[in-house]
Amino acid sequence: MTTETKKDPILVVIQLTGGNDYVNTVVPYTSSTYYDNRSNLGVAPEDVLPIDAEFGLNPALAPLKRLYDDGKVAIINGIGYPNPNRSHFRSMDIWHTCEPDKIGDEGWLGRVIRDLDPKHENVLKGVNFGRGLPRSMSLTGVPVASVAMLEAYGILTGIQGEPDRGEALDLFAKMYRPMIGSGPVMEYIGQTGLDALKGADILKTAPTLYNSNVEYADSPIGRNLQGIAKVLLSGFETQVFYTMHGGYDTHANQGPFHPKLLGDLSQAISDFYDDLREHEASDNVLMFVFTEFGRRVKDNGSGTDHGAGGVAFAVGDPVKGGMHSEYPSLLPADLVEGDLEFNIDFRGVYGTIVEKWLGLDPVPVVGGHFEQLEFV
């Protein structure tokens, strides 16, 4: 889809927390090695949703498959980084900061937001849906709104009902106005408080501006993506959205858990896409779905443990659909300590998004030059 009106590119990042099981997400359904390793948890060949002669999607991803068939989904195979770290914490940190060799404290999306809005003109350039700020968006001096629930977002939300709440916010605005002679720290806090109030004032209008015929399936990720849709469609010029979907650490009882997660995720993505589409807003939105690592090839009887190489997805109208990068070999000789070997560095994938989609210089954002792909 092309459009003549120039709209700012928007990026929506969905983090799958816990380590999504790659080989049960994109299933190599003709590989006997796969079924040998997944004697308890293999997805049967007749159940997968084939995308080609070798690979198919987990049946719970049917809504994503629909988008795939429309050319809206890029599957980025074998994504990872050198010397993979199998800890959630550390590995997620590496994905957030692009610093595999030291503990970094700047998030890559923080740098993106800084470069998109170098003068900090828009307090809502970056919006996270969830409690607390993910390190990926954290950068000193870059304001990012973190919204647990849009309807409940704001200052002094504990005060309900008018006129009390209105009075309290008026008083708050008064108390935070510049105060001569109070010193730089008081002044800074005052300005920050007024910025927060401004951001909250803008954000609270989003639910009233939003109107849609799309009904989202009820799930945590569905609620967050609908929240993103509300803000995105309200014209606040937010360009970077972030949210998380947790529970992918399927050491045990993966059989029922994993398909439920994939089902919720793909339904939410599909609802979100339809919502944007209904509002003719899908052409400038790129979704990027990632996880900190894939899981071990061999199952442990009831679940799978932490592994390395994984899969990411790019979804949306701007995407060149299909399989990108190589699916790593499952043959025992090709595994690294029982895990898939990565073949595309995630920083190259970030770089692709930063350069080809957001139009920024990727080098300072991802910390170097990395091989890019052609999915945008």
Partner 1 sequence: MTLQTIGNPPSVKGHYEYHSVIGALAGSGPGFSGPVSLDFGPDGNLYVASRGNPNQHEAVRVTRCTKDGEYLGQMPGWGEGEGEFIWITDIAFNAEGKLFATEEHTHRINVYDPTDFSFLYTFGEHGSGEGQLDRPSGIAFDSCNNVLVVDSLNNRVQQYSVDGKFLGQWGEFGDGEGQFNMPWDIFIDGDDNVFVTDWRNDRVQKLTRDGQVLMVFGGSGDGEGQFNRPTGIATDADGDIYVCDWMNDRVQVFDAQAKYKDTLIGHGGVSKWAQDYLDANPEIEHKLKLAEQNIEPKRRFYRPVSVKVDTDNKVYVADCYRHRVQIYQKV
Partner 2 sequence: MTTIATDKALVAHLLRRAGFGATFQEIDKFAEMGYEETVDYLLHPERVPDIDEDLLERYYIDWKESRNIEGALVETVYRFNARAGVRPMQEKIALFWHHVFATGLAKVLHEKTLLNQIDMFRDYGLGSYRDLLVHLAKDPAMIFWLDNNVNHKGAINENWGRELLELFSMGIGMDGKDNYTENDVQEVARAFTGWTMDDDNTASIPFGKTPWLFKFDADDHDYGEKTVLGETGNFTGEDVIDIIAKQPSTARFICRHLYNFFVADEVQVPSWRDTAPLDPEAIRIMEDAYFESNYDIRSILKVVFNSEFFKNARFQKVKSPAEVVCGTMHIVGSYKFPDQRFFEEALECRYMNQDLLNPPSVEGWHTGKEWIDSGSLVERINYVADELSDTTKPGVRAMVDNLLSRQSEFTPEGLIEGCLELLGYFELKDKTRSDLIELVYRAGEIRTDNPEDRMFAEQLMLRTLKMIGATREYQFA
State the residues that interact with partner 2 by CB under 8 A: 87, 89-90, 93, 103-105, 123, 131-133, 135, 140, 143-146, 154-159, 164, 167-168, 171-172, 174-176, 179, 182, 184-186, 188-190, 192-193, 195-196, 199-200, 251
Question: For residues 25 and 323, is the Cβ–Cβ distance under 8 A?
Answer: no
Contacts with 39 (C-beta within 8 Å, 6 or more apart), sequence order: 299
Q: How far is the CB of 269 from partner 2 (least distance, A)?
A: 26
Q: Is 148 in the site for partner 1 (CB under 8 A)?
A: no
Q: Considering CB distances under 5 to 8 angstroms, the limit depending on partner class, which of partner 1, partner 2, none binds residue 299?
A: partner 1
Q: How far is the CB of 132 from partner 1 (least distance, A)?
A: 13
Q: How far is the CB of 308 from partner 1 (least distance, A)?
A: 12
DSSP 152: G
* Closest CB to partner 1 among residues 191, 253: 253
Q: How far is the CB of 247 from partner 2 (least distance, A)?
A: 14
Residue 326: CB atoms within 10 A of its CB come to: 10
Which of 178, 252, 332, 363 touches partner 1 (CB under 8 A)?
252
* Closest CB to partner 1 among residues 37, 238: 37
Rounded CA-CA distance 95/357 in Å is: 19
Contacts with 83 (C-beta within 8 Å, 6 or more apart), sequence order: 100
Q: How far is the CB of 301 from partner 1 (least distance, A)?
A: 4
Which of 66, 251, 320, 356 touches partner 1 (CB under 8 A)?
251
Q: How far is the CB of 3 from partner 1 (least distance, A)?
A: 44
Query: Which residues from 287-316 bind partner 1, rule CB under 8 A?
Result: 296, 298-305
203 CB-side CA count, 13 A: 29
Rounded CA-CA distance 31/329 in Å is: 10
Q: Considering CB distances under 5 to 8 angstroms, the limit depending on partner class, which of partner 1, partner 2, none binds residue 156?
A: partner 2
Nearest to 202 by CA among 231, 164, 223, 175: 231
Rounded CA-CA distance 80/92 in Å is: 11
* Closest CB to partner 1 among residues 19, 367: 19
* Closest CB to partner 1 among residues 234, 304: 304
Task: Provide, for the chain, the percentages of residues in helix, strand and coil under a 3-state DSSP scheme, each rounded to the nearest 5.
Answer: 35, 15, 45
Rounded CA-CA distance 148/119 in Å is: 26
Rounded CA-CA distance 76/180 in Å is: 55
Q: How far is the CB of 252 from partner 1 (least distance, A)?
A: 4
Binding residues for partner 1, rule: CB under 8 A, are: 251-253, 257, 296, 298-305, 337-338
